[in-house]
């Protein structure tokens, strides 16, 4: 009797203990009540947005997992999202809703998405804590649709249209008033000085193009400056060498230099072989141009256009040869190297300004004036916007919000 009584007591104790343990380990997971899927607005029709309210059982060790399927009746075996339950809150929802965009292309393939337009996709939300899982009651579904217009970028569109209008207007204005004022750019005077030195020393001047092709604005500006340099070189009867990396830039440069020699009345002095393709790749180009610098010791080096990692190697080699060096680039990552190794550097927009200043072309002058007006508008917006934001009025900052 005593033995039976002890066994019952022990069993009760074991049951009590295990129930307590399980109560601790098995947290009750409460799934979100309202799981929604909808077509992502303002997209290319290849994603679905998911939204659901926070669950009371969320914590850092609990995860949300979303499975997707093309059909409601087949197993949901494609995992499209796995996040900690305390992350990815919807913006401006005070952490009351979760929001995620699912890129269907990534999980179902580009061809399938394109082939089956307007197809419904089904999503199942699972709340997971270790092996313990609970599935949200609602199976959400939505069909992705492409949008012709991204309304979030409306301000981008308006700014672009306004600025294009401004550019066109000021180009017309520049055509009527070719003497539009442009401030003097100090580096440009140095070009004359450098060419004069090359002439006195009887050594060539070397013009090094950047790595970009003719589609790049900096290359176009560089070619404009090259034309002016070539004209001056022809007048001084100095030798000009032009190193190119792009065959199209090479052809354009040859044309421009030839024209400049013709303008200067010295077509006989033009040597086509002096405008050459040094190499077709970045570092071979560096090796070739560095070799030329060391062997021919040009008295003036001009680096014009868009440069990459080769800038320092080129300019350093040029500095070692004792040449006057003038650089002009809008590659802001390479500007520090040119500033430290060259005698004069035209920074960023100064390259375009130099091109406009030298050529006096209405197209360039008008564009430059339009840029100045644009900058003025931005400065005004920044100053007024910041002051208004300080007083809690976010009107201007809202206009310039990036969508």
Partner 1 sequence: MNRDVSITTWILIAFGIVNIYFLTTGKLSFGLEGLGLITAVALTLAIYSFLYKDNPAFKIVENLFVGVAMGYWIIITWFNILKPDVLEPLIVPLFKDTGKSPQYIVIIPTILGIFMLLRFSTKLSWLSRWSFAFVVGLGSGITIPNFVHAFILKQMEPTFAPLYTGDILGSINTFLILLGVVSVLIYFFFSVEHKGVVGGVSVIGVWFLMVAFGASFGFTVMARMSLLIGRVQFLLRDWLGIIQ
- Contact footprint for partner 1 (CB under 8 A): 153, 155-157, 159-160, 163, 180-183, 185, 214-215, 248, 251, 278-281, 283-284, 287-288, 290-291, 294-295, 312, 332-333, 335-337, 339-340, 347-350, 353, 368-369, 372, 375-376, 378-379, 381-383, 385-387, 389-390, 392, 394, 396-397, 400-403
Separation between Cα atoms, residue 139 and residue 141, nearest integer Å:
7
Nearer to partner 1, 25 or 316 (CB): 316
Nearer to partner 1, 68 or 335 (CB): 335
Nearer to partner 1, 153 or 197 (CB): 153
Q: Are 304 and 210 in contact (CB under 8 A)?
A: yes
Q: What is the residue-wise DSSP string for 70-119?
A: SSSSS---EEEEEEETTS-BPTTTTTSEEEEEEEHHHHH-HHHHHHSTT-
CB of 302 to partner 1, least distance (A): 20
CB of 183 to partner 1, least distance (A): 5
C-alpha to C-alpha distances, 23 to 27, 55, 234, 296, 366, nearest whole angstrom: 7, 19, 93, 86, 76
Separation between Cα atoms, residue 382 and residue 402, nearest integer Å:
14
Residue carrying structure tokens 């009345």? 265
Q: Which token pair is 183?
A: 């401030």
Which residues does residue 229 pair with via DSSP β-bridges, in sequence order?
Answer: none
Q: Are 225 and 354 in contact (CB under 8 A)?
A: yes
Residue carrying structure tokens 């792009």? 246
CB of 265 to partner 1, least distance (A): 23
Nearer to partner 1, 3 or 183 (CB): 183
| Helix residue ranges, H only, 310-361 | 310-320, 335-341, 349-359
Q: At what angle do helices 186-201 and 349-359 cross, to 10 degrees?
A: 70
Residue 23 CA neighbour count, 13 Å, CB half: 6
Nearer to partner 1, 20 or 248 (CB): 248
CB of 56 to partner 1, least distance (A): 34
CB atoms within 10 A of CB 314: 25
- Helix (H) / strand (E) containing 39: strand 36-39
Which residues does residue 53 pair with via DSSP β-bridges, in sequence order?
Answer: 97
CB of 327 to partner 1, least distance (A): 13
Q: Are 330 and 306 in contact (CB under 8 A)?
A: yes
Nearer to partner 1, 151 or 283 (CB): 283
CB of 380 to partner 1, least distance (A): 10
CB of 95 to partner 1, least distance (A): 22
Nearer to partner 1, 17 or 308 (CB): 308
Q: Which token pair is 282?
A: 């970045």
Nearer to partner 1, 54 or 396 (CB): 396
Nearer to partner 1, 41 or 291 (CB): 291
CB of 271 to partner 1, least distance (A): 19
CB of 144 to partner 1, least distance (A): 23
């Amino acid at each position: 009797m005593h033995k039976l009584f002890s066994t019952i007591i022990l069993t009760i104790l074991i049951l009590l203990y295990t129930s307590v343990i399980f109560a601790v380990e098995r947290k009750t997971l409460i799934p979100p009540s309202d799981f929604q899927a909808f077509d992502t607005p303002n997209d290319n029709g290849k994603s679905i947005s998911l939204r659901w309210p926070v669950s009371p059982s969320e914590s850092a060790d609990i995860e949300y997992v979303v499975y997707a399927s093309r059909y409601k009746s087949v197993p949901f075996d494609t995992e499209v999202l796995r996040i900690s339950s305390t992350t990815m809150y919807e913006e401006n929802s005070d952490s009351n809703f979760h929001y995620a965009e699912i890129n269907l292309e990534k999980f179902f393939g580009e061809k399938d998405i394109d082939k089956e337009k307007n197809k419904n996709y089904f999503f199942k939300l699972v709340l997971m804590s270790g092996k313990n899982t609970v599935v949200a009651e609602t199976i959400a579904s939505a069909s992705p649709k492409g949008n012709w217009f991204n309304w979030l970028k409306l301000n981008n569109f308006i700014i672009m249209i306004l600025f294009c209008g401004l550019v066109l207007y000021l180009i017309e204005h520049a055509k009527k008033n070719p003497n539009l004022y442009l401030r003097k750019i100090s580096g440009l005077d140095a070009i004359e000085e450098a060419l004069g030195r090359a002439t006195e020393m009887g050594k060539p001047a070397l013009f090094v193009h950047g790595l970009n092709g003719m589609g790049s604005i900096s290359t176009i500006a560089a070619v404009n400056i090259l034309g002016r340099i070539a004209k001056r070189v022809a007048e001084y009867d100095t030798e000009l060498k032009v190193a190119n990396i792009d065959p199209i830039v090479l052809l354009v440069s040859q044309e421009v230099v030839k024209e400049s020699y013709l303008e200067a009345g010295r077509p006989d002095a033009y040597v086509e072989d002096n405008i050459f393709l040094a190499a077709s790749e970045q570092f071979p180009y560096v090796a070739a141009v560095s070799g030329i610098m060391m062997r021919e010791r040009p008295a003036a080096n001009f680096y014009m256009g868009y440069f990459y990692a080769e800038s320092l190697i080129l300019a350093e080699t040029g500095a070692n040869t004792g040449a006057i060096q003038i650089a002009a680039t809008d590659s802001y990552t390479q500007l520090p190297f040119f500033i430290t190794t060259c005698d004069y550097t035209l920074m960023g927009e100064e390259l375009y300004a130099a091109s406009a200043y030298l050529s006096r072309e209405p197209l360039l002058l008008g564009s430059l004036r339009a840029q100045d007006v644009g900058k003025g508008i931005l400065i005004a917006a920044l100053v007024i916007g910041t002051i208004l934001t300080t007083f809690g009025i976010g009107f201007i900052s809202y206009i310039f919000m990036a969508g």
